[in-house]
Amino acid sequence: MTQTVVCMKWGDRYGPEFANRLYSAARRNTAGDLRFICFTDDRAGLDPGVEAWPLPPINIPQRVAWTPWRKLSLWRAPLADIAEGDVLALDLDLLITGPLDDFFAYRPGEYCVIENWTQKGKGVGNTSCFRIPVGRYSEIFERFDSDPDAVLGRWRIEQQYISDTIPQVYWPAEWCLSFKHSIVPPFPLNWVRAPRLPSDARIVAFTGQPDQDAAAEGRWPAPVHKRFYKHVRPSPWINEHWR
């Protein structure tokens, strides 16, 4: 059975190499047939193995048009030419470090998502890596699309909106880690200890800063007044997976 992975790329925050390396890593870590779709406003530079589709239409106010709220368009049904089945959605700031097949075998037909690392026990999913059962919860898209201002007036971020609206199942905690919150040693140990990748990790998320390339080199772009604690030592293992 073909396993479908999708990502979204817009604007100039992430170049095509982020989608290409995500695809390459997904290909290396998938045993079966893989379909990899990038929904984008610019297909230039994408690898031939990446299936480029236009960004899915959504009625979204300009003030949040290029924020994670746009990811709600992935809840359309059909999605591209997919009418049903599970689709794994990955952000571009992810590093795939282990097998992806279990993300499709785990609790099929349900909405699966990361338990947000900074809100443990509060019922909030982190949508850096989530699986959509296409067509099952299309009300997530339809509710927003019909009255975005009502949704935006009630919820601050899209992942909180989703968490409050439909049932969610969390991935096993060891599968999906945050580089900053799970792997970088706490201050002040981050000045003397390099981050280490746990052997059972499948996904590492580089939300915000640093990106994968900067973290590999030991760079953490941050305001001057925060650099005393936002520090990371080089992590060359990142380059083994981000290629």
Q: Give dist(CA 86, CA 64) in Å, integer.
A: 27
Fold of 3-170: Spore Coat Polysaccharide Biosynthesis Protein SpsA; Chain A (3.90.550)
pLDDT (tens digit per residue) in 167-190: 999 999 999 999 999 999 999 999
| In the chain, % of residues over pLDDT 70 | 100
**Residue 220 is which amino acid?**
W
Q: Does 167 sit behind a cis peptide bond, omega within 30 degrees of 0 on the bond before it?
A: no
Which pLDDT value is given to residue 1?
82
Q: Give dist(CA 146, CA 151) in Å, integer.
A: 10
Report domain extents, the chain.
3-170, 178-241
Which pLDDT value is given to residue 32?
87
Element spanning 30, H or E? none
Directed axis angle between helix 158-165 and helix 139-146, to 10°? 120
C-beta separation of 7 from 22 below 8 A: yes
Q: Helix (H) and strand (E) counts for the chain?
A: 7, 10
Lookup: tokens for 19: 């989608």
Lookup: tokens for 173: 């905690």
Q: Locate tokens 């480029």: which residue?
A: 52
